[in-house]
Amino acid sequence: MKLRRHLALLAGALALAVAGGCAGEESATPSLAEYQKSVVTVRDRVDFALARITKAKSKDDFLNRMDEAAVVIDDAGSELDHTGAPQGFEDETDKLAGALHQLSVDLAATAHDIREPGSGLISPGLQGLSFESWDEANLVLASLIGQGIKVELIARH
């Protein structure tokens, strides 16, 4: 419960920081170094949120962590939207933000569907969940790596 509150406070603080930096004026285009740092930070937040899901101790904990990850990942996509990109990286940034927003929707929808009585979506032999949006985010990250951005792919958990 405390960790959920801390995650919510962190997400809120980040949203305020991003909003405060953009209030009343358009933000400047980030440098390549600033952009790389932003992409790495966003990737790390997404990876951390996904890793937390796998550490759940019960079905309810699992579903709650999926919901929490959806919020964190959506916020990460919004952060990319607001940060912008240096010239030549606009398409990748839009694609990555879009993939993260979709991954957020996919996680929240899956958690919702699993909660439905008789869904049968979680079985004792379940090996993991897979989302096209996760693959899309990693394809964009791979493209950025190919263009010299030093970032890791989002790990499988």
| DSSP per position, 17-30 | HHHHHHTTSPPPPP
What gap in Å lies between CA 120 and CA 95, rounded to an integer?
A: 33
Residue 141 has pLDDT above 60, yes or no: yes
pLDDT the model gives residue 157: 82
pLDDT value, residue 117: 80
Which tokens belong to 23? 């209030």
Integer Cα distance of 138 and 43 in angstroms: 10
DSSP state of 55: T
Please list, in sequence order, all residues whose beta carbon lies within 8 angstroms of the beta carbon of residue 53, skipping any fewer than 6 positions away.
62, 65, 66, 69, 157
What tokens were used for 17? 């920081």
Local structure of 64: helix, strand or coil: helix
Mean of the per-residue pLDDT values of the chain = 83
Q: Report the distance separating Cα 9 and Cα 33, nearest Å.
A: 27
Does the pLDDT of residue 69 top 90, yes or no?
Answer: yes
Hey, where are the domains in the chain? 40-116+129-157
First CA to last CA distance, the chain: 22
Residue 27 has pLDDT above 90, yes or no: no
Query: Does residue 11 surpass a pLDDT of 90?
Result: no
- Is the model's pLDDT at 21 over the cut of 50? no
Reported pTM? 0.78
